[in-house]
Amino acid sequence: MNFDLVIAGVGGQGVLTIAAVLDRAAHAAGLHVKQSEVHGMAQRGGAVSAFVRMSDQPVASDLIGRGCASLLLSVEPLEALRYTQLLRPDGWIVSDITPMRNMPDYPALDAVYRVLFSAPQLVALDATRLAQKAGTIKAQNIAALGAAAQHLPLPVELIEQQIRALFENKGERIVNANLHAFRKGDAAARFTTALLAAGIPGNTVAKATSHIHFPPHPVPADVLAAWCQRLSGADAQKVIQGLLDHEELTRLELHATS
């Protein structure tokens, strides 16, 4: 088993925290791990990336070649686009949609989303707002990690153990907030996968999932079925526009079948 992961974002978003959690979880799982990282600038706002390579055999290099990554995990949408050339044809992208405008010529968000949402295997979520609702906006990176969890060769329980260990010195409230953020991200990813498996176009799925407030547990089957029906019906675009017009993330539990 070989699994190559690219983690991307900007300074201050916790890219290296994600890498540290996964490194420790991989070691706990008995896997071989190598990691490299790039800091675009030392100060907050510069581009940051990390390569994490996991295998059941010794890993020779800490670099990931073009077209070799199984997963691209980004906590910033434009940074996700920067690294797509490293992704395998069947690889997944997991990305927060919240921009960090760290440059004067940051592209129009509509243009960024148009390209990002065209990816065939994409989990797009508002990790920043999900983290805020979980109890701390600083857990944005952990919400994004949760959205990547089902695609990683690691038991979710091991990842959660490392999250708890990492934040335990900050108190139980922060630990629980990060675990809730992680589980909200995981719920978003599983919901996304189910919608894609139902044949709903990826662009439609991305627009929907990035405007939904997910619970810190799997979405109930009746709620999932209701959303599959809505997003595959003739009024799908009206449903999407309703989500886009909504100021708050739409709570899934308000839309279960009656």
Assigned token pair, 39: 């800091």
Residue 182 lies in a domain: yes
Residue 205 lies in a domain: no
Token look-up 């600083």 returns 138
Q: Is 39 helix (H, G, I), strand (E, B) or coil?
A: strand
Encode pLDDT of 160-184 as tens digits.
999 999 999 999 999 999 999 999 9
Residue 207 lies in a domain: no
Chain centroid to Cα 54, Å, comes to 19
Residue 208 lies in a domain: no
Residue 169 lies in a domain: yes
The count of structural domains within the chain is 1
Residue 197 lies in a domain: no
Please give the Cα distance from 85 to 183 (Å, whole number).
29
Which pTM was predicted?
0.92
Closest CA to 92 of 170, 153, 14: 153
CA torsion 26→27→31→37, rounded to 10°? 60
Closest CA to 76 of 105, 39, 51, 48: 48
Q: For position 139, which CATH number holds?
A: 3.40.920.10
Please give the Cα distance from 32 to 186 (Å, whole number).
25
Burial of 60 (0-12, 13-18, 19+ CB in 10 A): exposed
Residue 115: domain span: 2-186
Residue 18 lies in a domain: yes
Residue 136 lies in a domain: yes
Closest CA to 74 of 141, 164, 135: 141
With a cut of 70, which residues of the chain have pLDDT below it?
38-45, 253-258
Assigned token pair, 122: 């994409």
Task: Please tell me the predicted confidence (pLDDT) of residue 42.
Answer: 44
Pairing of strands 2-10, 47-55: antiparallel
Chain centroid to Cα 254, Å, comes to 24
CB distance 189 to 150 below 8 Å:
yes
